[in-house]
Amino acid sequence: MPFIHRQTPRRIQLGDFTTDRGIFRLIGFGACAGLFGVIAGWILLRMIGLINDLAYYGVWSTRMLAPGGAAPGGHPALWTILVPAGGAVAIGLMARYGSEKIRGHGIPEAIEAILLGGARLDLRVAILKPISSAISIGTGGPFGAEGPIIMTGGAAASLMAQCFTLTDAERKTLLVAGACAGMTAVFGTPVAALLLAVELLLFELKPRSIIPVATACITAAILRRLCMTPAPLFPYAGGVIVDPLHALGWLGLGLAAGLGSALLTVLVYAAEDGFETLPIHWMWWPVLGGLVVGIGGVFDPAALGVGYPDIARLLAGTLAGGAAIRLVLVKGVIWSVALGSGTSGGVLAPLLIIGGALGAVLAPVMPHAAPGFWAVLGMAAMMGGTMRAPLTSTLFAVELTGNHLILLPVLAASMASMAVTVLLMKRSILTEKIARRGHHLTREYSIDPLAVTRIRDIMATKVDTLAADLPVGAAIERFLSHAAAHRAFPVTAPDGLVLGLVSRADILDWIGDEVRRDLPLRAMIAGREVTTAAPDEMADTIAVRMLTRNAPRIPVVDAEGRLLGIVSRADLLRVHQRVMLAETRRERFFLQGLFSSRKNRIQNVPGMQNAEPQMIPILVNQNGAQNDVDTELR
């Protein structure tokens, strides 16, 4: 039996990315997810049209006639008030006795499945979500089809993934691929769908995930041209004037849309809170929301349904003035109440309509532009601010209209809108529901500092060791003395080879077992496995090794096994502390004596307002010196 079993760190070849050949299998699955997304979109849109034409006209057709039972501009009959409520009864029954996950617009549920559910969605959601959404929208619900299709496409891809042996991360990728393929199928916006994955769904940017999702979006875009309209859904050919005056108008409309985004979010969750106080079962809340929708449809039939004709009229400049104001008010109110009631439907199309109508309302006070221009900006800005996905909204507007000239003004308006919402609200309309369920997520993505930090940069190089021939009694005395600053010490041979670690737990066991005090330490640790690290390894790898090996401190050795240093949990935590200091500590390097002092430069560091300047090097020490901060952790 060998004297010692040493776990030798496996040498890995570092690179920009960690993708391996397994990505080819995911690319194939991504193409299948694209097919599922198109099928889901095609079926759902026709279901919506069929239910709409039956409910309002009694006609077996999928043409999706104007909801409300009247031609555009006409007045619907009073009996149509009950149509949305009738559809809500069916939705409430499906939610209570089928799956409660069909309630809402679907994106929060998709995010929750990605982050918390191992990217697993069940068959009932895949079947009931499109049916309930088709009933909701077809009976006049002021929703879009994209949210349900995102949920349905994601569920279909998730079911496919569950038929194969995949990791949670791979299933997440395929769920997102199906979701984005569904969005591509509805709107014909593959690039915007891919950006939606990056900004909202993936919570990472890796080739392993982004390439299969892109494959799904491209596949869906190609297949969509075969079975649906190949042209942009809402073509817009207006020109763009680029000058400082118009740029101020872009920003002004973006700020107005940001305020509108915040107001819509508040309205939705205020309605949800209001329904929570009602002394009836939640199954009946959508019925009350449906009544509000029906009443709103009497005031403005254009506010009912998905509203795609309204978007076309806004871009053509034919829906403006009082009609645009009425559409903003009625659509905003009935959509907020209906969504807060827990019915099924999407958020994207309503945001486009409300934002576009807002742009049309403000157009008279904006610099002169082509008809429909300010409506386009309002659509994108409202979407970007409410969903907090400005890149998605920018490319979405470009692809949706087929007009690349609007790229710059749409980007400016979307970014301005997002700036307002992130300052006014902690959560977006998509994440507030998740937060209310007791979960926290952050959408600020950054590189893990442990993944770019080598162990040699954070390890302690001045290491207190125990000699291999040291008697057990002497080791016990050292641990029990006040001079013992650490919880474990490496045991080394005369030539510097690491033979093992002796911890306080070992000392207590030896005392309890009354081990002979004259035995050398090498005899006590013979045969133990030693977990070690190499100086060139990355800190995130060692963090995982600490956890899996239950090793709170690991010796760092060279290729022959000689001790170079030691790394502890405190060293890993200090890496994150450096990131925190980089975010919070402000310094001036020029004109330093005129405007600031060193003491002033640390006032913004949390917990250091009263710290003296000489304390800073101790707290941010990077050379591994044994500070009081991490004595216990070592």
545-587, pLDDT tens digit by residue?
Answer: 988 888 888 899 988 888 899 998 888 888 888 888 888 887 7
pLDDT in tens, 254-271: 999 999 999 999 999 899
Average pLDDT, the chain: 82
Distances (CA, A) of 420 to 104, 200, 254, 423: 25, 18, 9, 5
pLDDT of 150 > 90? The answer is: no
Q: Which comes out higher in pLDDT, residue 562 or 16?
A: 562
Distances (CA, A) of 208 to 21, 26, 318, 444: 10, 8, 46, 20
Predicted confidence at residue 39, as pLDDT, reads 86
- The whole-model pTM stands at 0.78
Domain extents in the chain = 22-227, 244-437, 455-574
In the predicted model, what is the mean pLDDT of residues 79-106? Answer: 82
Percent of the chain whose pLDDT exceeds 90? 26
From the list 59, 182, 56, 44, the residue with the least C-alpha distance to 110 is 182
Q: How does 495-504 read in b/e, with b if 16+ C-beta sit within 10 Å?
A: eebbbbbbee
In the predicted model, what is the mean pLDDT of residues 208-223? Answer: 93
CB 297 within 8 A of CB 84: yes
Using 50, 70 and 90 to split pLDDT, how confident is the model at 609? very low
Q: Which comes out higher in pLDDT, residue 72 or 516?
A: 516
Distances (CA, A) of 18 to 119, 446, 498, 553: 21, 16, 31, 26
DSSP state of 346: B
CB 75 within 8 A of CB 63: no
Q: What residues contact residue 371 under an 8 Å CB cut-off, 6+ apart? A: 238, 316, 317
Q: Which two tokens stand for residue 109?
A: 């549920």
Sign of CA dihedral 47, 271, 435, 358: positive
pLDDT of 602 > 50? The answer is: no
Whose structure tokens read 């617009």?
105
Predicted confidence at residue 632, as pLDDT, reads 41
**Helix or strand or coil: residue 379?**
helix
Least confident of 293-297, 317-321, 463-467, 622-626: 622-626
Using 50, 70 and 90 to split pLDDT, how confident is the model at 179? confident
Q: What residues contact residue 148 under an 8 Å CB cut-off, 6+ apart? A: 44, 105, 106, 129, 130, 132, 133, 134, 344, 345, 346
Predicted confidence at residue 247, as pLDDT, reads 95
Predicted confidence at residue 22, as pLDDT, reads 82
φ/ψ of 345, rounded to 5, equals 170, 165
pLDDT in tens, 489-530: 888 888 888 888 888 888 888 888 888 888 888 888 887 888
Distances (CA, A) of 367 to 250, 483, 602: 10, 76, 46
Predicted confidence at residue 613, as pLDDT, reads 37
DSSP state of 251: H
Using 50, 70 and 90 to split pLDDT, how confident is the model at 484? low
Predicted confidence at residue 630, as pLDDT, reads 44
CB 143 within 8 A of CB 105: yes
Helices (H), 363-484: 373-387, 390-401, 407-424, 432-436, 472-480
In the predicted model, what is the mean pLDDT of residues 84-91? Answer: 88
By CB atoms closer than 10 A (0-12, 13-18, 19+), residue 405 is: middle
As a CATH number, domain 455-574 is 3.10.580.10
Whose structure tokens read 């040699």?
456
pLDDT in tens, 354-398: 999 999 999 999 999 999 999 999 999 999 999 889 999 999 999
pLDDT of 2 > 50? The answer is: no
Alpha-carbon gap, residue 234 to 611, rounded angstroms: 60
User: Strand order of the sheet with strand 488-492?
Assistant: 466-467, 488-492, 498-503
Predicted confidence at residue 66, as pLDDT, reads 66
In the predicted model, what is the mean pLDDT of residues 103-126? Answer: 69
Q: Which comes out higher in pLDDT, residue 618 or 556?
A: 556
Least confident of 128-137, 148-157, 300-309: 148-157
Q: What residues contact residue 217 under an 8 Å CB cut-off, 6+ apart? A: 34, 177, 180, 181, 184, 190, 191, 193, 194
Specify which residues 566 forms β-bridges with: 460, 555
Can 22-227 and 244-437 be said to share one CATH topology?
Answer: yes
Distance of CA 131 to the CA centre of its chain: 27
CB 286 within 8 A of CB 342: yes
CB 140 within 8 A of CB 305: yes
pLDDT of 68 > 80? The answer is: no
CATH architecture of the domain 244-437 equals: Orthogonal Bundle (1.10)
pLDDT of 599 > 60? The answer is: no
Give ∠ CA 370-372-378 in degrees, rounded to 5: 120
Helices (H), 139-235: 146-161, 168-187, 190-196, 207-227
Percent of the chain whose pLDDT exceeds 70? 85
Most confident option among 87-96, 194-203, 360-369, 492-501: 360-369
Using 50, 70 and 90 to split pLDDT, how confident is the model at 102? confident
Least confident of 339-343, 417-421, 439-443: 439-443
Helices (H), 241-316: 244-276, 285-299, 308-316
Using 50, 70 and 90 to split pLDDT, how confident is the model at 623? very low
pLDDT of 621 > 60? The answer is: no
In the predicted model, what is the mean pLDDT of residues 133-140? Answer: 84
Q: Check: CATH 3.30.365.10 for 22-227?
A: no
pLDDT of 459 > 60? The answer is: yes
pLDDT in tens, 271-304: 989 998 999 988 898 899 889 988 888 888 888 8
In the predicted model, what is the mean pLDDT of residues 119-148? Answer: 78
Alpha-carbon gap, residue 438 to 443, rounded angstroms: 17
Most confident option among 213-222, 292-301, 342-351, 466-475: 213-222
φ/ψ of 501, rounded to 5, equals -125, 145
